[in-house]
Amino acid sequence: MKKLFLTLSAAVAVTFAANAQTEKGKTILGGNVSYDYTKVKDADGEAHALGILPSVGFFVSDNFAIGTGIGYSYQENTGSFAFDGNKLGVFSVAPFARLYKGDGDFKFFGQLSVPMGWGTAKDGDTKIGNTEQYGAELAPGFAYFPTSKIGIELSVRGLYYQNTTLKPEEGGNVTTNSFGLNANSLAPRIGVQFYF
């Protein structure tokens, strides 16, 4: 009987600890680091892109967090990929709101973010213009909490919209709009968040 009581007590303690990550007053730390490389076989040119976007959020109520990410991305293109200049540096801000559903070690979440970016396009060392990016993204996913301070996440990009404008030093603006639904379960985003 004593063993059964201790086992039940341990199970209740683990369940309580797992539920404690997303309660009001807690902080969530995480972010995104990416690197992309593109080269077309038998073509003259390649593209490199590097980005970093650390994020922090605060639970304003149980299972609901708001926060922001602040970061920088850099892209360099050579040869046939260098159509609008060959270097692009962008400072990014991405405020978000995240809602968790579920109990225990697994919780589903939905995250609404509003990514924005401002940067400079260059051809070599010569500035050719500025760029602005504004968008919205609704991403579903789930989090597994192996400990009370760590959440391992699996999500997809989901529903997104992005408006990008290149404002060249000479000539008119070039605006691109992107809209889509990306729920590819074979190419998920995997991440780790820290809860304090």
Structure confidence by residue, pLDDT tens digits, 82-117: 555 588 899 999 999 999 998 888 999 999 999 999
pLDDT band (50, 70, 90) for residue 46: confident
pLDDT band (50, 70, 90) for residue 66: very high
Class in CATH terms, 2-195 = mainly beta
pLDDT band (50, 70, 90) for residue 9: very low
Terminal-residue alpha carbon distance, the chain: 36
Domain ranges of the chain: 2-195
User: Which burial class, exposed, middle or buried, applies to 57 when counting CB atoms under 10 A from its CB (0-12, 13-18, 19+)?
Assistant: buried
pLDDT of residue 86: 81
pLDDT of residue 115: 94
Helix (H) or strand (E) holding 59: strand 45-61
Confidence (pTM): 0.76
Q: What is the DSSP annotation of 117-128?
A: EEEEEEETTEEE
Highest average pLDDT, of 19-23, 27-31, 191-195, comes from: 27-31
At 26, the amino acid letter reads K
- The 10 Å Cβ neighbour count of residue 40 is 12
pLDDT of residue 195: 87
At 120, the amino acid letter reads T
